[in-house]
């Protein structure tokens, strides 16, 4: 079994009985899911999966397993470390309120007691895929901001850093021994390259691009 996600949902079958309950609840909707037989295969192939999730946008991984097995192994962290954007749903026959809290703390995004009505499963997967797509969008947004920031010239970066320190244009001109008009032109280019409508937005974009937000 080649564990490469081809659709929006991947099913990691750590428990055949829990996996059966998931597919039973799906009522045929699982035909395009990718299925994984054990955690060893997943760990061995996890590097090969890298890029598939990000290129396809939102992805959901259903972990069909007893709660104790998920919490005692590094299943959730393995998935999360490989795909920060992936949405993880743990599905099991018996999940208590305390189990749910522990699973969410360990890295799961949602839990599902199976078997369940098909509508409930569909609702959980819809939320999970929407979450994964939102994460992918945020990641792409951060990458774009970094690209814009990298496009600034050294002189523009000097002006930008001064702006971030709260310096007015006149003080920046004095610091770098340049004309006030030059500062204004560089500031205008910075705003245009960063697609910022005002100084507050520029500051936020720069912080997000640098990871300071």
135 with 163, same domain: the answer is: no
Domain assignment of residue 173, yes or no = yes
Stretch 110-114: mean pLDDT: 96
Domain assignment of residue 175, yes or no = yes
Structural domain including 75 reads: 9-140
Q: Which helix (H) or strand (E) holds 52?
A: helix 52-56
Q: What is the pTM of this model?
A: 0.68
How many structural domains does the chain have? Answer: 2
Q: 66 near 15, Cβ under 8 Å? A: yes
Q: 193 near 175, Cβ under 8 Å? A: no
Domain assignment of residue 15, yes or no = yes
Phi first, then psi, for residue 35 (nearest 5°) are -125, 140
125 with 160, same domain: the answer is: no
37 with 79, same domain: the answer is: yes
pLDDT tens profile 131-184:
888 887 887 798 899 999 999 999 999 999 999 999 999 999 999 999 999 999
pLDDT at 55 over 50: no
């Amino acid at each position: 079994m080649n564990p490469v996600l081809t659709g929006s949902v991947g099913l990691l079958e750590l428990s055949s009985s829990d996996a059966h309950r998931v597919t039973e609840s799906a009522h045929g909707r699982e035909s395009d899911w990718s299925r994984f037989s054990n955690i060893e295969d997943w760990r061995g192939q996890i590097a090969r999966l890298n890029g598939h999730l990000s290129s396809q946008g939102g992805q959901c991984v259903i972990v069909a397993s007893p709660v104790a097995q998920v919490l005692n192994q590094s299943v959730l962290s393995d998935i999360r470390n490989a795909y920060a954007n992936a949405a993880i749903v743990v599905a099991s026959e018996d999940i208590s309120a305390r189990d749910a809290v522990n699973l969410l703390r360990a890295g799961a995004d949602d839990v599902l007691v199976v078997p369940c009505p098909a509508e409930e499963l569909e609702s959980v997967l819809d939320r999970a895929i929407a979450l994964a797509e939102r994460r992918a969008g945020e990641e792409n947004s951060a990458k774009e901001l970094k690209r814009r920031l990298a496009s600034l010239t050294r002189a523009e970066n000097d002006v930008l850093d001064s702006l971030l320190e709260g310096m007015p244009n006149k003080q920046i001109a004095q610091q770098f021994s340049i004309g006030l008009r030059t500062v204004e032109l560089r500031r205008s280019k910075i705003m245009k390259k960063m697609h910022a409508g005002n100084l507050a937005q520029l500051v936020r974009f720069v912080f997000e691009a640098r990871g300071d937000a």
